[in-house]
Amino acid sequence: MERDYLRIIKRSAREESDESEDSRSHWDSSLSISSLREDYQAGIKTRDVVKAIFERIEAAKQIQPSIWIHLQSLVDVLHATEEITRRWPDENDRPPLWGIPFSVKDSIDVAGIPTTVGCPAIAFTPSVSAHIFQKCIDAGALFIGKTNMEQLATGMTGCRSPYGTLHSTFSKDHIVGGSSSGSAVSVSDGLVSFSLGSDTAGSIRIPALFNGLVGYKPTKGTVSAKGVFPACLHQDCVSFLTLNLGDADTVWNICRGYDKNDLFAKTITDASTYSKSPELSSHQSAGSPKLTFRFGTPPTQALAACSPIYRQMFSQTVQALQKVGGKLVELDWAPFAAANELLYGSFVLERLTTLPEGWFEEKKHLLHPVTRQVLEGALARKTTAVDLFRDLHKQAEYKRIVENILKIEEDGEMTVMIVPSAPFHPTILEVGQDPLGTNSKLGTFAHFANVLDLVCIAMPCGTYEKEGEEGEGSRLPFGVTILAGCGLDAQLVKLSTQLEDTLIDVGQDQ
């Protein structure tokens, strides 16, 4: 489904069938996967799409010059279009991502191209591409470039990169979100159809919120992280940013699967497991079928962290979900809140294991000041092995409690938790005034997801007017994250797809 506030005016190739070939070569349409497939079926050429994309990239650079850490040349991408045409000459037998442009966060290895992780001092050039990157290439996708990110994937603001600070595609004053910041801009600005990223504390979900996108974090280990530079190896999860949920589902189905080379891989993605997924329960009401699902929300005291407009938009979202059959139930928030506190306890020290032995002590001056401050603060707490094991025991306890909360009942009714993806949308100036405090608050409803190994989908829920502004360009996006139990990826995608139309219109009568 296309969203009005992200829509690039579509010129259907079918409607132009009576125009000249020269006119048809000027492609300027949506990059959603379904739309691009239709254009290709109607005769649009991949080379014309690629040329148009590079024109958009040049225009976007005038507004945000630091989107890309590495950008493929136009010549290289045009050669790639020739290769996919040679490899799959039969138009009726092409793979699902044929001719679909994508970007990757610069923590994901691409053979022959430096992986910087937003930190030039530790950059290296891999000889082998990441498993997920290769899966997309093997499905016919076109690689456009590697995107800017928060240094070492440490932070959710998008303001900690030596390559430059990005802003939301809706406002030059407001943060883009991180750590998958450039990935979000590349999709939201219509430069690629999807982006591969990672999520440890909300690094996909927060940028999705602030840029009007879908952010999909599957169950950890169901998509291979081999070749992805870790932030916290035990918590990291490869994730996706797309224009809509259908696109996220398409990319996920290409990328998912057990990889024995990923030490945290789970066998839950076997096709046999997913084929047995129960249908979501529904019942007929006057006129049309109505979903039946149960959902909880954070308690009032937790929602007090939200800005007034976020509280208002979230309340409207809850009402919209109830109207389509969702049953609002009281779920125990305590294990979610407790898990939230674990991520930046002893677990944050795992970030130091990604650096070479002794590197931090010798070269920490080369880091972004805020990144350095985070890691120095973690070391200053003098965490012991006993502290770490206690936190691991707590994590196991909270996982088991939540496993019995977010589940599918025998009758097929699903229970999910729905939260604002973040409590507010700060400006770049506000982050600069309190970088650590603001970042911590942004994770109020995000940090626990990885600790509890939940599957999450961040969904756009309309827009609202910036305070004191009206008219075109004055609106910011709002969104929620729907969370389900470990392994319930297919079921959550199914439910969220059925809710997408309902959620997109929240607050649009303001």
Active-site amino acid positions: 105, 179, 203
* Distance from C-alpha of 62 to C-alpha of 59, rounded to nearest angstrom: 6
DSSP states of 21-86: HHHHT-------HHHHHHHHHTT--HHHHHHHHHHHHHHHHTT-TTSEEEE--HHHHHHHHHHHHH
235 φ/ψ angles, rounded to the nearest 5 degrees: -115, -20
Provide the strand spans (E) within 83-220. 101-105, 142-147, 194-199, 214-217
**Which burial class, exposed, middle or buried, applies to 277 when counting CB atoms under 10 A from its CB (0-12, 13-18, 19+)?**
middle
First-to-final CA distance of the chain: 22
Q: Are strands 194-199 and 101-105 parallel, antiparallel or unpaired?
A: parallel
Q: How many helices (H) and strands (E) does the chain have?
A: 19, 13
Q: How far is CA 267 from CA 248, 259, 273, 334, 487, in A?
A: 21, 9, 9, 30, 10
* Distance from C-alpha of 317 to C-alpha of 478, rounded to nearest angstrom: 10
